[in-house]
Amino acid sequence: MAVRIGQPAPRIEAVAYQRGKDGPVKINLEDYKGQWVVLFFYPLDFSPVCPIDMQRFAEEAKAFEKEKAAIIGASPDSMEAHRVFFSTDERLKDVHYPVIADRNQEVSRSFGVLIEEKGITHRGTFIIDPEGVVRYISISEPGIGRSVSETLRNLQALRTGKLCPAEWTPAKATIN
């Protein structure tokens, strides 16, 4: 079943790598009820575009926190691959959010971003509201980096609960 806007997010019970934590961190979306979640998938560790996406999320982490949103990354790599990736790529030094090690590809498959024949994912971004409902989806080819600023803008727009016109930013009026 495809993930759809307005529907509950698929259940996630997975392990994640998180800088500064000893061993795997358990990720269960149920634990995030009551807050917004930005879940993003990237194709795989050690690729040219992925660390740039991850770095951008880290750079904007305080802005997402201000919007009461948790950031969670995910790829089909192992915990060990994540550990080595984080320890060898300088761009990831400020990444402190959890990154799911989706080795069995269940999380990627459940969100519809897995490219089965390659064992990697499309670049997917999902915003999930405090009730666990998917409110935003963006999926692109693996080689196209996402706009973290646009993800933040969409989160801000969703949080207003109002109609937001094209090119809306928090400094502009919403539509009543």
Residues classed as catalytic: 50
CA dihedral 86, 59, 52, 84 (to 10 degrees): 0
Q: Diameter of the chain by CA atoms? A: 50
Cα 26 to Cα 17: distance, rounded to the nearest angstrom:
9
163 DSSP 8-state letter: B
DSSP secondary structure letter of residue 92? G
Q: How many Å separate Cα 140 from the centre of its chain?
A: 13
Task: For the chain, report the end-to-end CA distance as a whole number of angstroms.
Answer: 34
Rounded to 5 degrees, what are φ and ψ at 75? -150, 165
Q: How far is CA 78 from CA 19, 91, 116, 159, in A?
A: 15, 19, 17, 34
